[in-house]
Amino acid sequence: MNKYLLLYVSCFWLFSCGDTDIKQGETLFLRHKGCDMPAYVYGNTASNTFMILLHGGPGGNGLEYRGGVYAENLEKEIAVVYWDQRGQGNSKGNNHAEELTMDLLLDDLDQLVFLLKHQYGEDINLFLYGHSWGGTYGTKYLMSKKRQQQFNGWIESNGAHDIPKLNKLAIEFFQFYAREYIGAGINVTKWQEIQKFVNSIDTLNITDEEALKLNQFGHEAEELFDEIKQPDEDEFQMPLRNPIDVVSSVVTGNYTSQKLDENGIEEIALSDSLYKIELPTFIQTGRYDFVVPPALGFYAYNRISSKEKTYKQYSYSGHSPMVNEGVEYAEDILTFIRKNKK
């Protein structure tokens, strides 16, 4: 044991939409610096292979990622750890707002790794996965060679590892498609609204308000593309019963996001440090992702030092390829894991 307390292990039950079978999972509770953070472990624990899922946000939760065929296919072969980060999801206790910085979050993740190895064994295969904000979190974590050595591989999906560069790339992405679609007479009013906004931004001095508006337009833009594949009901279904209290999750998540913003997460820019990553890496992007433009992922792919690295852009996806192209998305992750586990 170390100075941090391993709390306890329990079992919980979760129903899924359209599924009459009750599915059982294991919940680990991590207590670190006054905050209890649940890690919901689902899937094939006998595989000795675990993937820590760093959810998006800040302000999301782990179990919102447990829906549909992509999660089912992953869980058949590996165990997925759907973790609620500090001040988010179903985490409880003192979130230490006065010191809510990336350093504290990185320390939390250290303790989660310790907890998993304590519970399942030092010899487990351990992969780190981050989506969106989780890509910021995970990339920052892997700036340490010692931390990289704890994992078999890193999967960054639509990850925001350089937010200032992301915002500039988003502006360019919007400008390109606005010209194309206005010229073609498609959704002209909306594209003119977006074009007017992005053209007004001083790219050398992007404000927090402008960055937030870029993010908002990024989500709205996905509604403008018929090319984005919408899943059938049996391909993606959110859990019917989720232990997350939605109201408290939103309130605390927004507070946590605000505090992290005040403490500088919008300034995180890791592009010049990506060479430090030597871990096997799989970078995933969506062709129509205006929240985190695919150019940012390709930029990272070209700059990491990993000898084993893969880049894939999903042609019919926006910011969430696990929803738009779930079967292929999960199989690609499993292929990467099979190649890099012990």
Write the pLDDT tens digit of every residue in 258-306: 888 887 888 999 999 999 999 999 999 999 999 999 999 999 999 999 9
Q: What is the pLDDT of residue 279?
A: 98
Q: Which domains does the chain have, with CATH numbers?
A: 6-162+227-340 (3.40.50.1820), 166-224 (no CATH)
pLDDT band, residue 93 (cuts 50/70/90): confident
- Model confidence at 10: pLDDT above 70: no
Q: What is the pLDDT, as a whole number, of residue 182?
A: 98
Q: Is the pLDDT of residue 116 over 60?
A: yes
Joined together, the tokens standing for residue 225 give 């593309």
- Write down the pLDDT at residue 111: 97
Calpha distance 250→100 (Å, rounded): 17
Section 57-80 average pLDDT: 92
Q: What is the pLDDT of residue 98?
A: 66
